[in-house]
Structure 1
Amino acid sequence: MIIGVPKEIKNNENRVALTPAGTQELVKRGHTVYVQTTAGAGSGFQDDEYQKAGATLLPSAADVFAKADMIMKVKEPVEQEYKLIRKDQLVFTYFHFASYEPLAKAMLESGAVCLAYETVERADGSLPLLVPMSEVAGRMSIQEGAKYLEKPLKGRGILLGGVPGVKPAKVLVLGGGVVGANAAKIAAGMGADVTIVDLNLNRLRYLDDVMPKNVHTLVSNEYTIREQVKESDLIIGGVLVPGAKAPKLITRDMLKTMRPGTVLVDVAVDQGGCIETCRPTTHEDPTFIIDDVVHYCVANMPGAVPYTSTLALTNATLPYAIRLANQGWKKACQESQELRLGLNVIQGQVVYKAVADAFNLPYTEVSKYLA
């Protein structure tokens, strides 16, 4: 198979979809890899490393898209890439279709096969290609939240861990999944007073067992959240419904009850956000303020730490990429339920129900294409 790796062009997106090590693994299995020049530079991988691994460098994204049977990316295609994607071309990346209708429509029009990292799912319900970036984003959410609590950045002016004789900040984490657990771990390590809310009692029992004593758990409901936001200094939104829009747990009217300078970090922003007042921001302009509440809603948080993020992501994606390259997408998805669940759009049809439901689009059973 011919695999293409274009340079990411989303604002401050420095990750790359394939490392030189991954390139070598594909090349030694007989595949051809084309990499756009400087695609890996932001993550610390130079062109000559890709060449030594067996890749061929191409000067432009258009050249890469034109040659490849499978495109490997990190973030969803942006508008200037839409027309480069060909009919029947396999695009393997994060899509988050349910949060952005123009992207879904563009991919339907392209006739491409869109296999989304975020909906590849194991039998136990875990999301192996979302986990590494959720781990990074969860940990980063506290790092960024602590920074924006500083007064010069319009926060409350509170030190996350406090000092002897002064109480630490109160951190509320919405969701006890991968994002929430990683956020809570870092916040607790910095000495904050942390509360995790989640609907799953078994998950709360587990977190209660493994987390430090400065982490508390509560069952999630509207009443509890309304009460907690009044006293919280930093609120992390880490709620995910695979492939669908995130539920709005923080509503606009709740902002009025928060203390001025409270910081909201919505890690779910690339799935529409779990905070009603959230809108996607960039690393270049990461925050905005509504009702004296600081909103940090960067849609590609891990892009700020690209070396760590690229290695973590490609550790997870490479085995799937090798399988797709070796077998082709149809056979690979016939034999792997995990990969089959990653299929969102095939040749102009939506084959993932949550995406179809998000925009009232016709839904086609994926089995039609795998027969």
Structure 2
Amino acid sequence: MIVGVPKEIKNNESRVGMTPAGVFELVKNNHTVYVQSGAGEGSGFFNDDYQQAGATILDTIGQVYAMSEMIVKVKEPIAEEYNLIQKDQIVFTYFHFASSETLTKAMIASKAICIAYETVEDEDGTLPLLTPMSEVAGRMAIQQGAKYLEKPKKGRGVLLGGVPGVAPGRVLVLGAGTVGIQAAKMAAGLGAHVTILDINMKRLRYVNDVMPSHVVTEFSNEFNIRKHIKDHDLIIGGVLLKGAKAPNLITREMLKDMRPGTVIVDVAVDQGGCVETTRPTTHEDPIYIIDDVVHYSVANMPGAVPYTSTMALTNVTLPYVLKLANMGWRSACNFDKSLAKGLNIVEGKVVYEEIAEAFSWEPAMA
């Protein structure tokens, strides 16, 4: 199979879909790999590295799309790429369709095979291709939240770890999934007081077992959320519904109950956000303020640490890329039921139920 790796063109996205090591494995399996010139530079991988691994370097993104049977990338295609995608071409990347009707309609029109990293699902319900980026984003959420709590950044002026004689900052984490646990771990490591909410008692029991005593678990409901937003300095949105739009756990009117300078980091922004006032931002312009509450909702947080993120991503995507290349998408998805759950749009039809539900489309369209 001919596999293409284009340069990411989303704002401040420095990750790349494949490392030279991944290219080496594909070439070893007798596949052809085209890499766009400069695609890996942001992650610390250069054209020579890819050529030594066996890739052919192409000058433009248009050439990569035109000459490849499968595209392996990181972020969803943006408008400039829509017309480059070909009928029956496999596109393997993060899509997060439920948060963008425009993207969804564009991919339906392309009649491509859209396989989404974020919905590939193991038998135990885990999301193996989403997990590493959720780990990165969860840890980064505390780094960014701590920074924007500083007064020059319009935050409350709170040091999360406190100092002797001064109480530590308070962090509220919505969701005890991968993002929430990684955020709680980082915040606890800094010495902050952490409250983590979830509706899954198994997850809360796990958190209670593995976290130190200054990480407190509570059942998630509107009453508890309203109670805690009044006295927590940093709020992390880490709620995920597989393939579907995130629920709004914090509404616009609830912002008035927060203290001025409270910071919200909504990691769920890719799926629409779990705060009503969330809208996607970029690393170039990461925050906005509503009712004196600082909102940080960068849609590609791991893109700020591209070396770590690219390595972590390729570690988990490469086995699936090899299956798709070796077997073709139909055989690979029949053979691997986890990969089959990654099928979102196939030849102009939505085949992932939650996407159709997100836009209230008729079932016939799915």
TM-score, normalising length from structure 2?
0.99
What amino acid does structure 2 have at the position aligned with 1:261? Answer: G
- Give 1:70 shift: 0.3
Q: Which runs of 5+ in 2 are unaligned?
A: none
| 1:102-121: CA deviation from partner (whole Å, max 9, x where unpaired) | 00000000000000000000
Contact map agreement 1:349 1:364 (CA 8 A) in 2: no
* Counterpart in the other structure of 2:284: 284
> 1:214 Cα shift?
1.1
Is it true that 1:233 corresponds to 2:258 in the alignment?
no
1:167 aligns to what?
167
**Contact residue 349 and residue 365 of structure 2 kept, 8 A:** no
Question: Does residue 1:185 correspond to 2:163, yes or no?
Answer: no
- The residue that corresponds to 1:311 in the other structure is 311
Residue 11 of structure 1 is matched in structure 2 by 11
Q: Percent identity?
A: 68
- State the 1:361 CA deviation: 2.8
Aligned residue runs from structure 1 range 63-82, under 5 A: 63-82=63-82
Unaligned runs of 5+ residues in structure 1 are 367-371
Asked if structure 2 preserves the Cα contact closer than 8 Å seen for 1:198 and 1:218, the reply is: yes
The runs of 4+ residues in structure 1 deviating greater than 4 Å are: 362-366
Contact 2:247/2:273 (<8 A) preserved:
yes
Deviation (angstroms), 1:360:
2.5
CA contact (8 A) 1:350 1:363 kept: no
3-state DSSP class of the match of 1:138? helix
The answer to whether 1:302 aligns with 2:302 is yes
Q: Distance in 2 between matches of 1:359 and 1:271?
A: 13
Q: Equivalent residue for 1:42? A: 42
Residue of structure 1 equivalent to 2:156: 156
User: 2:96 matched to which residue of 1?
Assistant: 96
TM-score normalized with structure 1 length: 0.98
1:34 partner SS: strand
Task: Report what 1:353 is aligned to.
Answer: 353
Residue 242 in structure 1 maps to residue 242 in structure 2: yes
* Alpha-carbon offset, residue 363 of structure 1: 4.3
Residue pair 1:108, 1:345 contacting (<8 A) in 2 also: yes
Bigger CA drift: 196-205 or 132-141?
A: 196-205
Contact 1:350 1:362 in 2 (8 A): no
Query: How much has 1:132 moved relative to structure 2?
Result: 0.1
8 Å Cα contact 1:349-1:362 kept in structure 2: no
Secondary structure of the 2:328 match is helix
Q: How far apart are 1:202 and its partner, in Å?
A: 1.2
- Match of residue 214 from structure 1: 214
Deviations 1:210-249 (A, max 9, x none): 0011100000000000000000000000000010000001
Look up the SS of the partner of 2:229 in the other structure: helix
**What is the match of residue 343 of structure 1?**
343
8 Å Cα contact 2:356-2:365 kept in structure 1? no
Tell me if the contact between 1:350 and 1:361 (Cα under 8 Å) persists in the aligned partners: no
Q: 1:346 to 1:75 in 2, by over 3 A?
A: same
Within 2, Cα distance between the matches of 1:13 and 1:361? 31
SS of the equivalent of 1:294 reads strand
Q: Is the 8 A contact 1:350 1:364 kept in 2?
A: no
The number of residues matched between the two structures is 366
- Residue equivalent to 1:369: none
- The letter of the residue matching 1:156 is R
The alpha-carbon distance between structure 1 residues 363 and 248, as it changes in their structure 2 partners (threshold 3 A), is: same
